[in-house]
């Protein structure tokens, strides 16, 4: 079974530029999560989708971050414009369903450096 | 909201010794507690989990205990090996709506197993 795929793996941009990350979850997984992991910290949830609907985006900085999962499969996370404090690893995870004790499977992450 | 604390932040043990990592949580409604291992350059990987109706769970060299009254849970690794060296994260579930869930992660523990 293929895991969660993410691209790019690394990205370096200057502040105020825009950047987008892509995630392809495990086939058949209805729930998709985007996390931000700052160096030395645990992952922090940004947004959670169930199929193509948003379940929780309470911690997403909506003035600069946006995410979509139009067809209920792949997802993109965008930052526009980027700030220095956005430097982090962006992790995508998926799980089979929203309810119950479903295991989350994480991708390798995209490491973003904002200069 | 839920807050998860994790101690120690770093832990060094000799190969063959045991390692214990402790976490506390604040939300009494949390009912699922996974533990993740993150190796350098990779996403977190689930290693063991425990539900609130169970006090202890064991899988080979790894065990997790849960004290719901005190709101703390611990990861125990016995007979540690160099390949156990990684960052370990605990997490606690939070309810979303009537049946969904997502997670709050602890800040992580960097475990080093010395040969």
| Distance from C-alpha of A33 to C-alpha of A47, rounded to nearest angstrom | 6
Please report the pLDDT score of residue B54 as a whole number: 84
Cross-chain residue pair A55–B51, CB shorter than 8 Å: no
Contacts of A40 (CB under 8 A, 6+ apart): B107, B108
Cross-chain residue pair A4–B103, CB shorter than 8 Å: no
What distance lies between CA A44 and its chain's CA centroid?
A: 10
| Distance from C-alpha of B84 to C-alpha of B72, rounded to nearest angstrom | 23
Out of B42, B99, B106, closest to residue A42 by CB: B106
Cross-chain residue pair B101–A103, CB shorter than 8 Å: no
| Distance from C-alpha of B63 to C-alpha of B102, rounded to nearest angstrom | 23
Out of B41, B99, B108, closest to residue A99 by CB: B99
DSSP A38: -
| Distance from C-alpha of A33 to C-alpha of B90, rounded to nearest angstrom | 17
Decide if B96 touches A, using CB distance below 8 A.
yes
The nearest CA of chain A is from the CA of B73 a distance in Å of 17
Cβ–Cβ pairs < 8 A, chains A and B: 66
The nearest CA of chain A is from the CA of B104 a distance in Å of 7
For residues A59, A107, A3, A75, the Cα torsion angle rounded to the nearest 10 degrees is 50
| Distance from C-alpha of A22 to C-alpha of A110, rounded to nearest angstrom | 9
The pLDDT tens digits of the residues spanning B64-103 come to 999 999 999 999 999 999 999 999 999 999 887 766 788 9
Whether residue A5 has pLDDT greater than 90: yes
| Distance from C-alpha of B78 to C-alpha of B19, rounded to nearest angstrom | 7
Whether residue A97 has pLDDT greater than 80: no
* Residue, of A113 and B54, whose pLDDT is higher: A113
Asked whether B31 and B47 are in contact (CB, 8 A), the reply is no
What percent of chain B has pLDDT above 70?
98
The pLDDT tens digits of the residues spanning A52-70 come to 899 999 999 999 999 999 8
Decide if A5 touches B, using CB distance below 8 A.
no
Asked whether B4 and B106 are in contact (CB, 8 A), the reply is yes
Cross-chain residue pair B91–A42, CB shorter than 8 Å: yes
Whether residue A6 has pLDDT greater than 70: yes
Out of B49, B89, B100, closest to residue A98 by CB: B100
Decide if B1 touches A, using CB distance below 8 A.
no
Cross-chain residue pair B105–A42, CB shorter than 8 Å: yes
The pLDDT tens digits of the residues spanning B17-55 come to 999 999 999 999 898 999 999 999 899 999 999 998 889
The nearest CA of chain A is from the CA of B8 a distance in Å of 13
For A8, A84, B18, B112, the CA distances from B15, given in Å and listed in that order, are 37, 40, 8, 9
Please report the pLDDT score of residue B98 as a whole number: 67
Report CA torsion sign: A6, A7, A12, A15: negative
Decide if B32 touches A, using CB distance below 8 A.
yes
């Amino acid at each position: 079974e293929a895991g969660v795929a993410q691209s790019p793996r690394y990205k370096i941009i200057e502040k105020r530029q825009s950047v987008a990350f892509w995630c392809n979850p495990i086939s058949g997984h209805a729930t998709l999560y985007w996390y931000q992991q700052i160096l030395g910290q645990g992952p922090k949830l940004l947004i959670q989708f169930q199929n193509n609907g948003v379940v929780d985006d309470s911690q997403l900085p909506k003035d600069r971050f946006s995410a979509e999962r139009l067809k209920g499969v792949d997802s993109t996370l965008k930052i526009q414009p980027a700030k220095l404090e956005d430097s982090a690893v962006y992790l995508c995870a998926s799980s089979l369903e929203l309810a119950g004790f479903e295991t989350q499977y994480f991708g390798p992450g995209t490491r973003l450096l904002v200069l | 909201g839920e807050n998860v604390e994790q101690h120690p932040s770093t832990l060094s043990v000799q190969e063959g010794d045991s390692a214990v990592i402790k976490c506390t949580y604040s939300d009494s409604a949390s009912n699922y507690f996974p533990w993740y291992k993150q190796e350098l350059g990779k996403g977190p990987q689930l290693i063991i989990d425990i539900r609130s109706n169970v006090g202890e769970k064991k899988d080979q060299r790894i065990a997790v205990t849960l004290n719901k009254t005190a709101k703390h849970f611990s990861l125990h690794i016995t007979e540690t090996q160099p390949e156990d060296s990684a960052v370990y994260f605990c997490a606690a579930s939070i309810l979303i709506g009537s049946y969904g869930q997502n997670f709050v992660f602890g800040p992580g523990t960097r475990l080093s197993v010395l040969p």
